[in-house]
Amino acid sequence: MPITGRLKSYFFRGLAVLLPTIVTIWILVWGYSFIQDNISIHIKRGLVRLIIIAGGSEEELSKFWIDGALSIAGFLVALFAVCIVGAILASVVGKTLWRVVEKFIMNTPFLRQVYPYVKQITDFLFTQEEKKRLFSRVVAVEYPRKGIWSMGMVTGSGLKKVVDKVEKEFLTILIPTSPTPFTGFVIMVPKEQTIELDMTIEEALRFAVSGGVIVPDSNQVAAALPKADSESNE
Protein backbone atom coordinates (compact mmCIF):
# COMPACT_ATOMS: atom_id res chain seq x y z
CA MET A 1 0.00 0.00 0.00
CA PRO A 2 1.43 3.44 -0.91
CA ILE A 3 2.28 5.91 1.84
CA THR A 4 -0.72 8.14 1.05
CA GLY A 5 -3.07 5.18 1.36
CA ARG A 6 -1.60 4.19 4.71
CA LEU A 7 -1.81 7.77 6.01
CA LYS A 8 -5.43 7.95 4.91
CA SER A 9 -6.17 4.65 6.64
CA TYR A 10 -4.42 5.81 9.84
CA PHE A 11 -6.27 9.12 9.75
CA PHE A 12 -9.74 7.57 9.49
CA ARG A 13 -8.88 4.93 12.09
CA GLY A 14 -7.74 7.64 14.51
CA LEU A 15 -10.82 9.71 13.71
CA ALA A 16 -13.09 6.74 14.38
CA VAL A 17 -11.46 6.24 17.78
CA LEU A 18 -11.25 9.89 18.86
CA LEU A 19 -14.46 11.37 17.41
CA PRO A 20 -16.94 9.70 19.82
CA THR A 21 -14.87 10.84 22.81
CA ILE A 22 -14.49 14.38 21.45
CA VAL A 23 -18.20 14.70 20.63
CA THR A 24 -19.17 13.33 24.07
CA ILE A 25 -16.89 15.81 25.84
CA TRP A 26 -18.17 18.65 23.63
CA ILE A 27 -21.80 17.83 24.51
CA LEU A 28 -20.98 17.76 28.24
CA VAL A 29 -19.04 21.05 28.05
CA TRP A 30 -21.80 22.67 25.99
CA GLY A 31 -24.45 21.50 28.47
CA TYR A 32 -22.41 22.78 31.42
CA SER A 33 -21.80 26.16 29.73
CA PHE A 34 -25.45 26.51 28.74
CA ILE A 35 -26.66 25.88 32.31
CA GLN A 36 -23.98 28.18 33.78
CA ASP A 37 -24.70 31.07 31.36
CA ASN A 38 -28.48 30.87 31.32
CA ILE A 39 -29.56 29.38 34.65
CA SER A 40 -26.78 29.20 37.22
CA ILE A 41 -25.79 32.86 36.91
CA HIS A 42 -29.28 33.98 37.97
CA ILE A 43 -29.34 31.51 40.87
CA LYS A 44 -25.94 32.72 42.10
CA ARG A 45 -26.98 36.36 41.87
CA GLY A 46 -30.14 35.55 43.79
CA LEU A 47 -28.09 33.87 46.51
CA VAL A 48 -25.79 36.89 46.68
CA ARG A 49 -28.75 39.25 47.08
CA LEU A 50 -30.18 37.12 49.88
CA ILE A 51 -26.86 37.12 51.73
CA ILE A 52 -26.45 40.90 51.19
CA ILE A 53 -29.87 41.40 52.77
CA ALA A 54 -28.60 39.35 55.70
CA GLY A 55 -25.65 41.74 56.09
CA GLY A 56 -22.92 40.51 53.74
CA SER A 57 -20.56 42.63 51.64
CA GLU A 58 -21.67 42.91 47.98
CA GLU A 59 -18.14 43.15 46.54
CA GLU A 60 -16.76 40.20 48.50
CA LEU A 61 -19.79 38.04 47.82
CA SER A 62 -19.72 38.79 44.09
CA LYS A 63 -16.10 37.68 43.87
CA PHE A 64 -16.70 34.64 46.04
CA TRP A 65 -19.99 33.37 44.59
CA ILE A 66 -20.08 34.60 40.99
CA ASP A 67 -16.42 34.87 39.96
CA GLY A 68 -14.67 32.72 42.57
CA ALA A 69 -14.03 29.07 43.26
CA LEU A 70 -17.62 28.43 44.32
CA SER A 71 -19.10 29.49 40.98
CA ILE A 72 -20.05 25.84 40.47
CA ALA A 73 -22.57 26.21 43.31
CA GLY A 74 -25.17 27.68 40.98
CA PHE A 75 -24.71 24.77 38.59
CA LEU A 76 -25.28 22.24 41.38
CA VAL A 77 -28.32 24.17 42.62
CA ALA A 78 -29.73 24.16 39.06
CA LEU A 79 -29.28 20.38 38.79
CA PHE A 80 -30.92 19.89 42.17
CA ALA A 81 -33.79 22.17 41.15
CA VAL A 82 -34.39 20.12 37.98
CA CYS A 83 -34.51 16.94 40.08
CA ILE A 84 -37.02 18.58 42.45
CA VAL A 85 -39.20 19.64 39.50
CA GLY A 86 -39.05 16.09 38.15
CA ALA A 87 -40.10 14.65 41.50
CA ILE A 88 -43.00 17.10 41.77
CA LEU A 89 -44.21 16.36 38.23
CA ALA A 90 -44.14 12.63 38.99
CA SER A 91 -46.83 13.15 41.64
CA VAL A 92 -50.56 13.37 40.94
CA VAL A 93 -50.71 17.02 42.05
CA GLY A 94 -47.70 17.92 39.90
CA LYS A 95 -49.18 16.25 36.81
CA THR A 96 -52.46 18.09 37.35
CA LEU A 97 -50.72 21.47 37.69
CA TRP A 98 -48.58 20.80 34.62
CA ARG A 99 -51.70 19.98 32.56
CA VAL A 100 -53.02 23.44 33.44
CA VAL A 101 -49.70 25.00 32.32
CA GLU A 102 -49.70 23.00 29.08
CA LYS A 103 -53.31 24.00 28.41
CA PHE A 104 -52.31 27.66 28.76
CA ILE A 105 -49.35 27.13 26.39
CA MET A 106 -51.52 25.37 23.80
CA ASN A 107 -53.97 28.30 23.88
CA THR A 108 -51.22 30.88 23.32
CA PRO A 109 -50.98 31.72 19.58
CA PHE A 110 -47.20 31.60 19.04
CA LEU A 111 -46.28 28.98 21.64
CA ARG A 112 -48.78 26.41 20.37
CA GLN A 113 -47.03 26.44 16.98
CA VAL A 114 -43.71 25.42 18.50
CA TYR A 115 -44.30 23.67 21.83
CA PRO A 116 -45.90 20.38 20.61
CA TYR A 117 -42.98 19.59 18.27
CA VAL A 118 -40.30 20.42 20.83
CA LYS A 119 -42.17 18.36 23.45
CA GLN A 120 -42.38 15.39 21.09
CA ILE A 121 -38.60 15.39 20.59
CA THR A 122 -37.73 15.84 24.28
CA ASP A 123 -40.24 13.20 25.35
CA PHE A 124 -38.73 10.78 22.85
CA LEU A 125 -35.17 11.49 24.03
CA PHE A 126 -35.71 11.50 27.79
CA THR A 127 -38.89 9.54 28.53
CA GLN A 128 -38.85 5.76 28.44
CA GLU A 129 -42.66 5.63 28.54
CA GLU A 130 -42.85 7.73 25.38
CA LYS A 131 -40.62 5.30 23.50
CA LYS A 132 -42.74 2.39 24.66
CA ARG A 133 -45.90 4.22 23.61
CA LEU A 134 -44.59 5.15 20.16
CA PHE A 135 -42.77 1.92 19.38
CA SER A 136 -44.07 -1.40 20.67
CA ARG A 137 -41.47 -3.78 19.18
CA VAL A 138 -38.82 -4.22 16.51
CA VAL A 139 -39.35 -6.24 13.35
CA ALA A 140 -37.64 -7.04 10.06
CA VAL A 141 -39.56 -6.52 6.83
CA GLU A 142 -38.74 -6.84 3.13
CA TYR A 143 -38.44 -3.20 2.10
CA PRO A 144 -38.04 -1.40 -0.34
CA ARG A 145 -38.39 -4.61 -2.38
CA LYS A 146 -38.40 -8.36 -1.89
CA GLY A 147 -35.00 -9.77 -1.01
CA ILE A 148 -33.90 -6.63 0.85
CA TRP A 149 -34.63 -6.74 4.59
CA SER A 150 -34.97 -3.57 6.63
CA MET A 151 -35.28 -3.08 10.35
CA GLY A 152 -38.39 -1.25 11.50
CA MET A 153 -40.25 -0.30 14.66
CA VAL A 154 -43.93 -1.14 15.02
CA THR A 155 -46.07 1.93 15.68
CA GLY A 156 -49.58 0.60 15.12
CA SER A 157 -51.87 -1.92 13.46
CA GLY A 158 -52.51 -0.25 10.11
CA LEU A 159 -55.44 1.77 8.80
CA LYS A 160 -58.93 0.35 9.24
CA LYS A 161 -59.96 0.71 5.61
CA VAL A 162 -56.87 -1.14 4.38
CA VAL A 163 -57.28 -3.90 6.97
CA ASP A 164 -60.96 -4.35 6.08
CA LYS A 165 -60.24 -4.37 2.34
CA VAL A 166 -57.42 -6.93 2.43
CA GLU A 167 -58.86 -8.85 5.40
CA LYS A 168 -55.46 -9.45 6.99
CA GLU A 169 -53.77 -8.37 10.18
CA PHE A 170 -51.51 -5.40 9.37
CA LEU A 171 -48.66 -3.62 11.12
CA THR A 172 -47.72 0.03 10.73
CA ILE A 173 -43.93 0.19 10.72
CA LEU A 174 -41.48 3.08 10.84
CA ILE A 175 -38.36 2.30 8.81
CA PRO A 176 -35.72 4.64 10.36
CA THR A 177 -33.01 6.28 8.29
CA SER A 178 -29.34 6.39 9.28
CA PRO A 179 -27.82 8.21 11.07
CA THR A 180 -30.97 10.13 12.09
CA PRO A 181 -33.62 7.59 13.17
CA PHE A 182 -36.10 10.38 13.94
CA THR A 183 -36.88 10.47 10.23
CA GLY A 184 -37.83 7.56 8.00
CA PHE A 185 -40.56 5.89 5.99
CA VAL A 186 -43.92 4.72 7.31
CA ILE A 187 -45.24 1.54 5.69
CA MET A 188 -48.10 -0.87 6.28
CA VAL A 189 -47.51 -4.57 5.70
CA PRO A 190 -49.34 -7.78 6.62
CA LYS A 191 -48.09 -9.06 9.95
CA GLU A 192 -47.31 -12.46 8.41
CA GLN A 193 -44.68 -10.80 6.18
CA THR A 194 -42.63 -9.52 9.14
CA ILE A 195 -40.11 -11.19 11.42
CA GLU A 196 -40.10 -10.12 15.06
CA LEU A 197 -36.56 -9.33 16.23
CA ASP A 198 -35.11 -9.93 19.67
CA MET A 199 -34.10 -6.26 20.10
CA THR A 200 -35.15 -3.49 22.45
CA ILE A 201 -36.12 -0.06 21.10
CA GLU A 202 -32.81 1.38 22.41
CA GLU A 203 -30.82 -1.35 20.63
CA ALA A 204 -32.75 -0.68 17.42
CA LEU A 205 -32.02 3.05 17.64
CA ARG A 206 -28.30 2.39 18.22
CA PHE A 207 -28.33 0.01 15.25
CA ALA A 208 -29.87 2.70 13.03
CA VAL A 209 -27.66 5.56 14.25
CA SER A 210 -24.48 3.52 13.74
CA GLY A 211 -25.50 2.42 10.27
CA GLY A 212 -25.71 -1.21 11.38
CA VAL A 213 -22.29 -1.27 13.05
CA ILE A 214 -23.60 -1.63 16.62
CA VAL A 215 -25.43 -4.97 16.74
CA PRO A 216 -26.74 -6.55 19.98
CA ASP A 217 -24.79 -9.65 21.00
CA SER A 218 -27.90 -11.81 20.68
CA ASN A 219 -28.29 -10.80 17.02
CA GLN A 220 -24.68 -10.99 15.85
CA VAL A 221 -23.88 -13.42 13.07
CA ALA A 222 -20.43 -15.02 12.87
CA ALA A 223 -18.59 -13.69 9.83
CA ALA A 224 -18.18 -16.35 7.16
CA LEU A 225 -14.68 -17.03 5.85
CA PRO A 226 -14.33 -15.70 2.26
CA LYS A 227 -14.26 -18.48 -0.31
CA ALA A 228 -10.99 -17.36 -1.85
CA ASP A 229 -9.27 -17.34 1.54
CA SER A 230 -10.62 -20.76 2.49
CA GLU A 231 -9.45 -22.28 -0.78
CA SER A 232 -5.99 -20.78 -0.45
CA ASN A 233 -5.69 -22.12 3.09
CA GLU A 234 -6.45 -25.60 1.84
Tens of pLDDT along 4-14? 777 777 777 77
User: Average pLDDT, stretch 43-58?
Assistant: 64
| Beta-carbon contacts of residue 159 (< 8 Å; ≥ 6 apart) | 170, 172, 188
Distance separating alpha carbons of residues 200 and 197, to the nearest angstrom: 9
Q: Which CATH class is domain 134-214?
A: mainly beta
pLDDT tens per residue across span 85-127 = 888 877 888 888 888 888 888 888 877 777 777 776 666 656 6
Q: Which of 75-79, 122-126, 201-205 has the highest mean pLDDT?
A: 201-205
The angle formed by the CA atoms of residues 168, 174 and 181, to the nearest 5 degrees, is 170
- The string of pLDDT tens digits covering residues 160-188 is 999 999 999 999 999 998 877 777 899 99
Give the residues across from 171 on adjacent strands.
189
Alpha helices in the chain (DSSP H): 3-35, 41-53, 58-61, 72-89, 92-106, 111-126, 128-134, 160-166, 201-209, 227-233
CA atoms within 13 A on the CB side of 40: 20
For the chain, give every residue range classified as CATH 2.30.30.
134-214
> Is residue 192 predicted with pLDDT exceeding 80?
yes
Instruction: Calculate the alpha carbon distances from 177 to 128, 133, 184 in Å.
Output: 21, 20, 5
Distance (Å, whole) CA 203 – CA 213: 11
pLDDT over 50 (residue 230): no
- Binning pLDDT at 50, 70 and 90, where does residue 73 land? low
CB 92 within 8 A of CB 98: no
The residue that leads in pLDDT, 21 or 66, is 21
According to the model, what pLDDT value does residue 169 have?
A: 92
Per-residue pLDDT of 138-149, as tens digits, reads 999 999 999 999
Report the C-alpha gap between 175 and 142 in whole angstroms: 11
- The values of phi and psi at residue 221, to 5°, are -110, 135
